[in-house]
């Protein structure tokens, strides 16, 4: 059964079917805005309980340190349940556009992805409950190279799904550092080279990979959801601006 819930300025489509395909697993890419040129990534997963869904939103939401502030406390903000998810999108669309890519998974795979993130929360150093969401200080610190918002949002599906299911839209050919300023770009790729990494974990790089897969009718991407900023929106321009590598 398909139900639609509308809030001001955005449409959230929730599919609650229990068929062989689940439709709740969504990678949510927040677009750059003002002087924030990189973007943000979160992931929405069905919980199979009374909460229905949860958004895992990881980032530098605490103390930071190191060169260019590339390291810091690894804080996971968890938006659990319909009410909090609605607040998440309302907060995001107050200042940025977002695009959600719905990933093809089975209910069994989605349950495993959900359990993967919940295990991380159980091992957290501390937990602080707020009015909008709950914050967890994860065991592993934030790293702008290999443990940041995008890598965390993709970690569940990359650990549960076979590589052939996600490599089309996360292929290293998309790893270009789109949106990085010169110093950040130089440092990011120097550290990737030092650590022998070549992963697509930058929001605008992932956006291009997923957009290309969807336009090529890749069965891995079921649909695209757009969450425009409630005021002047640049969503269509970002969608058109990114081209195939």
DSSP letters, 68-131, are: GG-EE--EEEEEESHHHHHHHHHHHTTT--EEEEEEPB-HHHHHHHHHHHHHHHHT-SEEEE-S
User: Residue 245: inside a domain, yes or no?
Assistant: no
CA atoms of 39 and 53, how far apart (whole Å)? 23
Whole-model pTM? 0.86
Question: What is the Cβ-side half-sphere exposure of residue 79, based on CA atoms within 13 angstroms?
Answer: 20
**104 in any annotated domain:** yes
- Strands ordered across the beta sheet of 126-129: 126-129, 134-137, 75-80, 53-59, 40-46, 26-30, 98-103, 221-227
Q: Do the domain assignments include residue 179? A: yes
Instruction: Report the number of distinct structural domains present in the chain.
Output: 1
Residue ranges of the chain with pLDDT lower than 70?
A: 1-24, 232-245
The pLDDT of residue 20 is 40
- For residue 38, which of 46, 47, 29 has the smallest C-alpha distance? 29
Q: Is residue 91 part of a domain?
A: yes
pLDDT for position 131: 87
> Could you tell me which residues come within 8 angstroms of residue 219 by beta carbon, excluding any fewer than 6 positions away?
104
- Domain of residue 232 covers 2-240
In a domain, 192, yes or no: yes
């Amino acid at each position: 059964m398909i139900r639609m819930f509308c809030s001001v300025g955005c449409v959230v489509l929730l599919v609650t079917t229990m068929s062989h395909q689940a439709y709740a697993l969504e990678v949510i890419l927040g677009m750059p805005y003002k002087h924030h040129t990189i973007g943000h990534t979160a992931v929405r997963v069905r919980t199979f309980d009374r909460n229905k869904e949860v958004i895992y939103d990881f980032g530098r939401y605490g103390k930071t340190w190191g060169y260019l502030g590339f390291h810091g406390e690894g804080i996971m903000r968890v938006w659990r349940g319909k009410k909090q998810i609605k607040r998440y999108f309302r907060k995001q669309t107050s200042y940025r556009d977002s695009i959600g890519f719905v990933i093809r998974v089975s209910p069994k795979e989605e349950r495993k992805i959900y359990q993967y993130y919940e295990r991380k929360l159980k091992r957290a150093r501390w937990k602080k409950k707020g009015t909008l969401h709950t914050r967890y200080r994860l065991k592993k610190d934030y790293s702008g190279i290999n443990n940041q918002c995008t890598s965390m949002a993709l970690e569940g599906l990359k650990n549960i799904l076979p590589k052939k299911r996600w490599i089309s839209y996360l292929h290293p050919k998309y790893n270009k550092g789109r949106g990085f300023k010169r110093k950040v770009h130089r440092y990011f790729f120097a550290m990737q080279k030092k650590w022998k990494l070549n992963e697509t974990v930058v929001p605008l790089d992932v956006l291009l990979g997923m957009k290309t897969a969807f336009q090529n009718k890749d069965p891995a991407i079921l649909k695209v959801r757009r969450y425009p900023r409630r005021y002047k929106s640049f969503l269509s321009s970002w969608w058109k601006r990114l081209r195939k590598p």
